[in-house]
Structure 1
Amino acid sequence: MKKRELGDFQTPSVLADLLVNVLKTKKLSPNVIVEPTCGEGSILIASHNAFNPQKSLGIEIQKSYTDKLAHNLTNNISILNKDFFVSLPNIKEFISENENILFVGNPPWVTNSELSALGSDNLPDKNNFDNIRGIEAITGKSNFDISEYIIKLLIDNFSHKQSFFAFLCKISVAKKIMNRLWKNNLQYKSAEIYPIDSKKYFSAAVDACLFYLDCSEKKENSELVVFDSIENPVKKYTSGFYKNVYFEDLSKKSALTIYGKSQFIWRNGVKHDCSKVMEFSITNNGLQNGYNESVDIESDLVFPYLKSSDLVKDKFVDRKRILVTQKFINEPTDYIQIKYPKTWAYLTEHTEDFEKRKSVIYKNKCRYSIFSVGDYTFKPYKIAISGLYKSLCFKLITPYEDKTVLLDDTCNFISFDSKEKAEFILELLQTETALQYLNARISWEAKRPVKTEVLNSIDFEKLAKIENKANLYYGLFGSPVVQNLLFA
């Protein structure tokens, strides 16, 4: 438990040496080296031996590591047994005014929500540190990696100096940090990513890298260079901004032609955080919930249900149902007691499951409330795509057994009243123009790569014109004037 709580992935010496080899190509001459979470010290010692700074500092919360390190270090390496989250004053005191500083390390690969679930107090101050808007924060976008917080804090406090930052972290963390720096117009000399084989070095199934940021010179910059790997540091492509739009690969910036605002709002599927009660498998004896209980309730509030894994299959597989207690946000649920007594009895029997839900979106809401529902949820035709899978597999979802099919909250979708309209928009999404645009903008190594933010930036009117289908588009959805009224 403690190892998981601390995100404890100790860096093997061979990887520490590879990290140092990349840094050597930069011709660095740091006066000071600081590792904020040094663990057993492989990166700290390898960096100190390679660059021979005047002094080095390693900070580590686990005393077993610091005690061991203290017996095997030279006089100009200092070890501090302390929580990083309260050690900034120590780092500032350690560094003189005009020194070149190299910050290195491998901060914990664990998120703040994972630590909270473990009941850990090894957390930074709880705040919405990226200023995410309220609805996004409470539905999960405020979740962050502890490594992200540590690297961000160091950059915030020391990027104004002659500083260099070199950290092993998830690729998604490195890109989140860079997007934040671009948003805040931070000046830097260069930023680079060197992918590493996390399975090989850490037995971890995540896309990870060496993230390098050079702040020794302050320049206007909005680029991030991605290399082949830490073992083979050959440049692959450059990410960054073009005309204020982020591109995963700037060489594909010509795809900007369909950038704009989608005429149809992409949304996530139903969120309930109570799968054992709200989701059912279909058996020969009827519905079965996550507790393997047979469930006998009225059918009106039960709908066919698809998850991300279903969307990447070749054919529709009828395997799940979902109980939907509301048709719109904040709809009172007391009507169920009168109109659907079996369903109400079932929900009442499992009230404790609903009370255990931790998300603040359910706070002060009516009993058995859900989230991400509205008129769009119950329209008969949808175009859907998994937010989790690393493929652009758009699917047309049609009614099943005379009921609209619902999607879970890992899916993205737009909905329509007619099959003809849905089929036309699906055809546009499957064009080379649309696929090139999405591939140019999506960061495929992210935990949830396909985001509504990018999907909602597709201007379908522009796309229809490029594909010589403008007349069909206007025939189905009206002229631009009509569209402005319809989609305002």
Structure 2
Amino acid sequence: MTALSRPSRVERGDWQTPLDLARHVTRLAARLGARPASILEPTCGRGAFLTAAAEVFPDTLARGFDIDPEHVETARCALAGRPVEIALGDCFEVAWEDVLAAMPDPVLVLGNPPWVTSADLGALGSRNLPKKSNFKRFRGLDAQTGKSNFDVSEWILLRLLTALRGRDFRMVVLCKSSVARRVMEHVTRESISLSGATYRIDARGAFDVATAAVVMTLAADPPGASPARGWAVFDSLDAETPRRTMGVHGGRLYSDIDRFERTKDLEGQCTPAWRSGLKHDCAPVMELEARDGALVNGLGERVDIEDSVVFPLLKGSDVANGRRPGRRFVLVTQRSLGEETRTLQADAPRAWAYLVRHEGKLDVRKSSIYRDKPPFSVFGIGPYTFAPYKVAICGLYKKFSFSLVEPYEGRPVVLDDTCYFLPFEAREEAEAALRALQSEEARAFFEARVFWEDKRPIGKVLLQSISLKALERPL
């Protein structure tokens, strides 16, 4: 069999499930109480899940579909003599209601739908997409822009849930953690009577991809059952006790519904507002390091420019690891967003000459935010940048570690754009905010709302959602 080329593999989300993992997942389904009369694998590939199902549920009729003829033939050969039907079919085009009408309840849906997004497929020029539809019901610009991007597996899973309405079924599938969360939100929003859970898996070990992934389980609730409070979150396929319970409240998904209930009185708008650090996108020119009494840029050049435009710098890794300022510095060309920079020719002529000498590197900055702006512009800049005291956190590290940032040698410390901070004029105010944010109540608040598997789990929306005023009031 000829292996799929890399573009084709990506286009079809063709990451074949190792048989050992398929067996582990199928045994989990049995452990959870699955006693299927029929089994469906909507994107069966070479048949790993169908093979595992034939071992765990040997007398149960199973049906599998796949878009790749070679995969279908491989699966048929592997399962010859078993009560398994495997057909060539595009999951976007199969009439799933008709397929399921011929399958008796209870139905077990197993599998590993493609891990690829509609945007990925569009970039590849792929036509292997569902028909255009606003299936998430976005409105206005959201329906026309990036928010309408979706994971193909999400589309498939929601399509199957529609086809399974009113049926006695259980679904046990591999997917990205983010997809499982969106399915949960959909189920709650549409008032679908289902119980669910997630079990973490090692996607790097199984598929060599750096993606947070889970086995998602769903089961139709029996008639008259009370709606499930949330979805249990397990740390592994073998875990017997959940680590926490996700839940939806007011249309929003919370990572820990119990902690949410305990901390909901702390919700509000943070004052002062959280700010992002400085963004310049040209570290070799803009960032300087103190060496032997001089400043040296990332190109190895000694830099002699006016002190008025040089500020001590802490990067996200410095903040997260408690490092003090004094080693790194940054050239700051503006005091407010969009401010004219040509005034530096008179106010800081050596700095202007330095920037002009390196304008080629600054002019090729890729972000569109620099387009039509004054030369050598930066972003994340304003009066708050120069506040003498800051309470800061790095958004990239997976821990809630807040720290107090004080002036260095009389100069306010500037933070880079991986950081978020609260600006203060008085040390006492900054210290009070730091104590509040380091409290157990604040930690419980954030832990109820953060999803650590996200690429940048700590963001401005999360930080801004806690009321410092409520947090600081006496219990």
TM-score, normalised by the number of residues in structure 1: 0.76
1:211 aligns with 2:213: no
Question: Aligned partners of 1:360, 1:92: CA distance in 2, in Å?
Answer: 44
2:153 to 147, 151, 156: 151
Question: Residues 239 and 93 (structure 1 numbering): CA distance in 2 closer, same or farther, change over 3 Å?
Answer: closer
Q: Deviations over 1:197-216 (max 9, x none)?
A: 34544455554321123357
2:401 paired residue number:
393
Corresponding residue of 2:41: 34
Counterpart in the other structure of 1:286: 295
Aligned equivalents of 1:199, 1:57: Cα separation in 2: 26
Q: State the Cα distance separating 1:254 from its structure 2 match.
A: 1.9
**Alpha-carbon offset, residue 466 of structure 1:** 2.8
The runs of 5 or more residues in structure 2 that have no matched partner are none
Alignment partner of 1:46 is 2:15: no
Structure 1 residues 320 and 189: alpha-carbon distance in aligned structure 2, compared to 1, 3 A threshold: same
> 1:318 aligned to 2:326?
yes
Deviations 1:191-238 (A, max 9, x none): 101122345444555543211233576975551111242023433332
Q: 1:479 corresponds to which residue?
A: none
Instruction: Name the Cα RMSD after superposition.
Output: 4.0
Q: Which moved more, 1:16-25 or 1:250-259?
A: 250-259
1:130 and 1:307 map into 2 onto residues whose CA distance is 40
Cα offset, 1:382, TM superposition: 1.0
Alignment length (residue pairs):
448
Aligned match for 1:409, one of 394, 413, 417: 417
Displacement of 1:394:
0.6
| 8 A Cα contact 2:39 2:62, kept in partner | yes
Preserved contact between residue 116 and residue 151 of structure 2 (Cα < 8 Å)? no
**Of 261, 266, 277, the match for 2:269:** 261
What is the correspondence of 1:422-441 to structure 2 with a 5 Å cutoff? 422-441=430-449
TM-score normalised by structure 2 residue count: 0.78
Q: Tell me if structure 2 keeps the 8 A contact 1:307–1:407.
A: yes
| Mapping of residues 14-413 of structure 1, within 5 Å | 14-24=20-30, 25-29=32-36, 31=38, 33-36=40-43, 38-47=44-53, 50-51=56-57, 54-60=61-67, 65=71, 68-69=74-75, 71-74=77-80, 76-80=84-88, 87-90=91-94, 92=96, 95-97=99-101, 99=103, 102-107=108-113, 120-121=124-125, 149-160=151-162, 161=164, 162=167, 164-179=170-185, 181-182=187-188, 184-198=189-203, 200-202=205-207, 206-215=211-220, 220-221=227-228, 223-242=230-249, 246-252=253-259, 253-284=261-292, 286-289=295-298, 291-292=299-300, 294-336=302-344, 339=347, 340=349, 341-351=352-362, 353-354=364-365, 357=366, 359-362=367-370, 365-413=373-421
What is the identity, as a one-letter code, of the residue corresponding to 2:255?
A: E
Query: Quick one: percent identity of the two aligned structures?
Result: 29
Return 5+ residue gaps in structure 1 as ranges.
468-488
Instruction: State the distance in 2 between where 1:364 and 1:126 align.
Output: 36
**CA apart distance, 1:17:** 0.7
